[in-house]
Amino acid sequence: MGSAGLGERKDIMKQTDRNGSGATPGRKFDETYRRHAVELTLHGDRTTKTVAQELGIPAWALYEWRRLYAPRPGGGPAPQTLEEAQKENGRLRTEIIRLREREIVLKKSLGILSEPPESGMPRSKR
C-alpha cells in the first residue's frame, strides 16, 4: 500500500472519529436561527428536506422546529407548557359552546323563515 492510501485512510478515520458514525456531533442552534430556518421552509419553493440539506442540519430537526415555531392553522403558536395547553382547551371549549348556540339560533331562524305564509300571516289582497 502506498502513502496515498494511508492519507485517504486518515481522512476517513477523521470523519468517523467525530462520534463513531460519521455524523457531526450535536450542534446547538439558538431560537433566532431555528425560526429563520422555519421561515425559509414556509416562504419559498424549496422543500423542507432541501432547506435542511442546504443548512447542513438533519431534516427531522427542521420538521421539529416547524412544529414548534411555524404558525398553525387557526393562528397562534403551539402551547409550550401544560398550563398553556389547558388554557387553550378551556378557550376552545367556550368557543364550541358559543358556536353550538349560534347554530341552534340559525336553525330556528331558518325554520321560521321557511314556513309557508298561511301560518299566521294575512294574505295580501290584490
Model confidence pLDDT, tens digit, residues 50-97: 999 999 999 999 999 888 888 776 666 666 788 888 998 999 999 999
Same domain, 59 and 88: no
56 within a domain of the structure (yes/no): yes
CA proximity to 53, closest of 42, 43, 66, 40? 40
Q: What is the pTM of this model?
A: 0.41
Number of domains in the chain: 2
Range of the domain at 99: 79-112
pLDDT of residue 28: 84
CA proximity to 37, closest of 24, 54, 23? 54
Same domain, 61 and 89: no
118 within a domain of the structure (yes/no): no
46 within a domain of the structure (yes/no): yes
Mean pLDDT of 3-9: 48
pLDDT in tens, 7-56: 444 444 444 444 444 445 567 888 889 888 988 888 878 888 999 999 99
Same domain, 59 and 83: no
Same domain, 35 and 52: yes
User: Using an 8 Å Cβ cutoff, are 53 and 61 in contact?
Assistant: no
pLDDT of residue 92: 93
The residue among 4 and 120 whose pLDDT is bigger is: 120
pLDDT of residue 22: 43
The C-alpha atoms of residue 66 and residue 68 are separated, in whole angstroms, by 5
Same domain, 70 and 106: no
Same domain, 71 and 44: yes
The C-alpha atoms of residue 45 and residue 87 are separated, in whole angstroms, by 36
pLDDT of residue 94: 95
